[in-house]
A and B are shown apart, each in its own frame.
Chain A
Amino acid sequence: MNTRRPAAAVIRGGRGGTSREPPYRIVRSSDGTARAEAGGSMRRGVLRVGTPASLVGVVLGLAALTALARLGPAEPRADLTVADGVSIVTLDPAQISWLQDIRVVTQLYEGLYALDPRGGGIVAAASERAEASADSGGGPTVYRFRLRPEARWSNGEPVSADDFVFSWRRAIEPGTGRHYGFFLECIRGVRPYVEWRRREIERLGRTPPAERSRRAAEHRSEADRRFAQEVGLIAENGRTLRVELDRPVAYFLDLLTLPVFLPVHRRSVERYVRTTNLGLVLEDPGWCKPENTYYNGAYVLESWRFKRGLRLRRNDHYRRAAETQIETVEWLDVADANTAWLMYATGRVDWLLSVDAPYAAGLVAESASPLAAAVNRNGDRRRDVHAVPAFGTYFYNLNCGARLADGRSNPLADPRVRRAICQAVDRAQIGREVTRRGERPAESLVPPGALRGYPAIAGLGYDPPAARQALADAGYPGGRGLPPIELLFNTEAEHGLIAQTVAAMLRRNLGVNISLVGKEAQTYREDKKARRFHLARASWYGDYDDPTSFLDVFRSDNGNNDSGYDDPAYDARLNAADLTADPDARLGALAECERRLMREGVPVLPLFHAVSVFAYDPEVVRGLVPGPRLLPSLSALEVRR
């Protein structure tokens, strides 16, 4: 009799349910004994592991893979263990844009100038001194940097000006340059050179393949000639670097602290570079791996395991190696903020560079940080959680264009509507109740007090009656007549909570109907670039210590101007202010630009100035001065257990 059960009994396994049909049959043999025999239903399924032998095969396969996992004995603990709560992306100075990468790379390389580890301002690093001279009135345009004789690479070779020229050139060449390359465009001749290269590469792409290698070789030598002659970046001799700008840049020395201006060891990186038949400069990025290159910073990269961490070792050839107390550093790569905190709390990590766990607010409230004063509970304060104001602002871009991406007319094109939105949001309450890290409510872009000599700007404060009046003046009394306003944000972290709070405030104070559009990070970025929003969440951190780091974003031709703010008068005012010779007058003029931007132009709804939280025990990690720019220099620290 056929005891096979079709259908449900046959299908089994996977992620679904289990079948209770016995997969075996009892077979009675002639002498009365019974044994179990595998039934026909056992031979179905994708992975036919019905027989133990094939299961053994699976297990052996897994075991072989496992043996490759190389779990060895734990390494000895380093002098200092650091973690960041975000993964390290790249260690190539020309490709860097994330803060966690910048933090690592500033230990490995040293540029002409560096941020002062004692907080505030810059100090001369690899360069001993700079001579600035002006061709005409209005600020220096030619800088000559004399490199320190004791500046050396980790193989003992002196740091030469050629290294700088090579590294800065990498940052603008098509194929090796990335986001921060545009900071070199203030150097004379860079922009025409890059344009010329791009055109030539296109032309090479159109040459027939037979001729290509010859043409490419010609193009290469032509490119080298052009760079040497037309770009204002010259190594006068081994120790002097001359930089010629095409217009005066008041903050040029500040710019030099950016990672894109760091030098790399030319001789070792050159071996990984090749120029293709299409004229592109290609690099095998493996040069960043330890043992492949040399470093001129306080530390040398000893090992780097993907997504596990790095080990740094003191660079004995560093010019200040004698003062560097910490010998080995372990920089752990932790992708989850909660796990990072637990690692700190259980003692695995000595210094946590960013406490982003959702309960960071609670930690700040318990801490002895001055920012916690506003939100503190009673009781013993912890001394190891530090909250400092960061050099950045969290805001919502307001779409200033006449039409949205899909052709609908944009009510926010009217500045009165934008003003109404700004004045209808109680930012202090957001800082108190939602983010709770002691953030200061923002009315301006530049965090007040962050730049010496730059006044605090009074923008549009919280004023519901004025907001309602402005909205009525624009023709939408009580919010009537406005279409649903779309608020775009990415769903990570607290952005959703803040968005919901802002939406509720706007609804309550203005009667405006907000439609919340939360997207995952990449899609959100696409939508923001394509201007598919009325309001979009954003934040901006200053790259260098000058107000233009924030104000330049709203120039009509700036690629980061997501609001689409287009005001030629603002551009002109900004240009005029930037070129003012006297530094104090310049800051005053820039302050006036910002004031008018925030009060009249209103391209953004500023919410609060960012706060960074990190954790370390000041008794153990000494010499650390937490500051807004947050680029710690490990060589200035000491660990005492």
Chain B
Amino acid sequence: MRMPAAQSGPFGGRAWRRFRRNRAAAASAAGLTIIAAACAAGATAWRDRAARADLSRARTPPSRVDPFGTDLLGRSLAVRCVVGGAVSMGVGLSAAVFAVVLGLAWGSLAALGGGRIDAAMMRVVDIIYGLPYLLIAILLKVGLDGLLRTQAGLSAGGSEVAVLILAIAGVSWLTMARIVRAAVLSLNAQPFVEAARALGASPWRVWRAHILPNLAGPVAVYATLTVPQAMLQESFLSFLGLGIQPPLPSWGTLAAEGVAAINPVESFWWMLAFPCGLLSLTLLGLNFLGEGLRDALDPRG
């Protein structure tokens, strides 16, 4: 990042204008805000309706009463999609936040530690990066589950979601660590940081006041790109039965149910199309947003 200290922060005027000019990114930002707001509102209003089953109306296609149709137990798919969206996006955001915090800490420590500490820490990242992420996600999820259960006697609801978030974050922080490390390394070599150090500022102060603000750019970009990855991983874990547990819906579980409903005998296309469509739109928007941010902050010449 061309980030001389003179600039107030990553979102200086030029970057903002560049961002607005990228129509896809701007549209995505707007669209995502709408979807997020709708899901949040719907989730609070319809939390119980999502579980209301009416077996006599199971498996009906979209109609006026149920705009997205009903699922295998007669629950309105539209309501479930809205609540599910809140859950998925919530899980994705939380996992991304954890990943960012962990990656930030790890990358900064590695870069500022230097030498052997740096080598060792990045080796760890390389190793975990090389392992199949599914193993780590599953083992983390199941292991933390067991740990929480035997320690605290919790067995349902909130703790499951917390464990899922931690498991996803546990495999998503690696890229962030690498990025932060490279950024901190380059910032460290900048004259204004050396000046601050020469003036006697403690390493912590140097990091917090000088390096951290200038990291906001790349961190924001890759954080935005981590959210869709986290959401995809949540959907995959839900497909395996390790993710969000019923009756709490998420786009991942709805997509998994929809996949199970594809069959050559009876077609329940709406059970797959709507959750998958919403998920894809959101992921697409997040990707455009992230790329737009990256373009705005780091244009090519």
Interface residues of A (CB under 8 A from B): 5-11, 14-17, 19-22, 44, 46, 338, 341-342, 345, 357-359, 362-363, 366, 406, 429, 433-434, 486, 490-492, 496-497, 499-501, 503-504, 515-523, 527, 532
Q: Pick from B19-27, B35-43, B240-248 the stretch touching chain A.
A: B240-248
Interface class of chain A by DSSP: mixed
Pairwise interchain contact A518-B245, C-beta atoms closer than 8 A: yes
Q: Give chain B residues whose Cβ lies under 8 Å from the Cβ of A519.
A: 145, 245
Q: List the A side residues contacting B162 at CB < 8 Å.
A: none
> What are 16 A-B contacts with C-beta separation under 8 Å?
A8-B1, A8-B298, A15-B175, A17-B290, A20-B300, A338-B260, A341-B264, A433-B74, A434-B55, A486-B155, A491-B246, A497-B73, A500-B73, A516-B156, A517-B245, A519-B245
Q: Indicate whether B200 reaches chain A with its CB closer than 8 angstroms.
A: no
Report how many A-B pairs have Cβ atoms within 8 Å. 134
Assess the A501–B53 pair: CB atoms within 8 A.
yes
In the complex, whether B126 has a CB less than 8 A from a CB of chain A is yes
Q: Are B73 and A501 in contact (CB under 8 A)?
A: yes
Q: How far is the CA of A207 from the CA of B157 in the complex (A)?
A: 51
Q: Is B32 an interface residue (CB 8 A)?
A: no
Which residues of the other chain, B, contact A357 by a CB distance below 8 angstroms?
263
Q: A507's closest neighbor in chain B, by CB?
A: B51
Q: Does B274 contact A (CB under 8 A)?
A: no
Contact across chains for A8 and B183 when beta carbons are under 8 A apart: yes
- The residue on A at minimum CB distance from B237 is A520
A280 to chain B, nearest CB (A): 30
CA distance A341 to B88 in the complex (A): 32
Most-contacted residue by chain A among B55, B226, B287 (CB, 10 A): B55
With CB as the reference atom, state the residue of chain B lying closest to A15.
Answer: B229
Q: Which residues of the partner chain B approach A497 to less than 8 Å between Cβ atoms?
A: 72-73, 246
* Stretch in contact with the other chain, from B76-84, B201-209, B217-225, B275-283: B217-225
| Contact yes or no, A520 B126, CB < 8 A | no
Q: Which of B55, B145, B263, B298 contacts A359 (CB 8 A)?
A: B263
Q: Which of A46, A503, A516 contacts B129 (CB 8 A)?
A: A46
B294 — which chain A residues lie within 8 A by C-beta?
8, 17, 19
- Is there contact, CB below 8 Å, between A6 and B183? yes
Task: Give bound CA distance, A527 to B149, whole Å.
Answer: 10
Known contacts A7-B179, A8-B1, A17-B291; A22 and B300 CB within 8 A of each other: yes
The 0/1 profile, CB within 8 Å of A marked 1, for residues 250-272 of chain B is: 00000000001101111000000
A16 to B224, CA, bound (A): 11
Residues of A within 8 A of B149 (CB): 527, 532
In whole angstroms, what is the CA distance A362 to B153 when docked? 41
* A515, B157: Cβ atoms closer than 8 Å: yes
B53 & A504 in contact (Cβ 8 Å cutoff): yes
A520 touches B265 (CB 8 A): no
Top 8 A-B pairs, shortest CB-CB distance: A6-B186, A359-B263, A491-B241, A433-B55, A7-B183, A518-B245, A358-B260, A362-B266
Assess A7 versus B186: contact at CB under 8 Å? Given A16-B225, A406-B153, A500-B53: yes
The answer to whether B247 touches A500 (Cβ under 8 A) is yes
The distance in angstroms between the C-alpha atoms of A482 and B74, with both chains bound, is 28
Using known A-B contacts A16-B175, A17-B225, A491-B241, determine if residue A500 contacts B182 with beta carbons closer than 8 Å. no
- B246–A516 touching, CB < 8 Å: yes
How many whole Å from B139's CB to the nearest CB in chain A? Answer: 12
- B58 interface residue, CB < 8 Å from A? yes
Q: Complex formed: what's the CA distance from A501 to B74 in Å?
A: 10
For the A-B complex with A434-B72, A497-B246 known, give 11 more contacts whose Cβ atoms are closer than 8 Å: A7-B218, A14-B129, A16-B229, A17-B222, A22-B300, A46-B129, A338-B263, A359-B263, A434-B73, A500-B53, A500-B247
Q: Determine whether the beta carbon of A21 is less than 8 Å from that of B261.
A: no
**Residue pair B261, A358 in contact (C-beta under 8 Å):** yes
Cβ A363 vs Cβ B246 within 8 A: no
Cβ of B44 within 8 Å of any chain A Cβ, yes or no, is no
Taking CB atoms, residues of chain B closer than 8 Å to A44 are 182
The one of A10, A362, A503 in contact with B265, judged by C-beta atoms closer than 8 angstroms, is A362
Docked complex Cα distance between A418 and B275 (Å)? 39
Report chain B residues within 8 Å CB of A5. 298
Instruction: Kindly identify which residue among B73, B130, B264 contacts A345, using a CB–CB cutoff of 8 Å.
Output: B264
Q: Judging by beta carbons under 8 Å apart, are A7 and B246 in contact?
A: no
Q: How far is the CA of A11 from the CA of B245 in the complex (A)?
A: 36
Q: Given A8-B179, A517-B156, A532-B155, verify A500-B51 contact (CB < 8 Å).
A: yes
The verdict on B185 contacting chain A, using a C-beta distance below 8 Å, is yes
Q: How far is the CA of A516 from the CA of B156 in the complex (A)?
A: 7
Instruction: Let me know if B63 is at the binding interface, CB within 8 A.
Output: no
Question: Chain A residues near B217 (CB, 8 Å)?
Answer: 8
Give CA–CA (A504, B51) in the complex, Å. Answer: 9
Residue-by-residue, is B126-154 near A (CB-CB < 8 Å gives 1, otherwise 0)?
10011000000000001001100100010
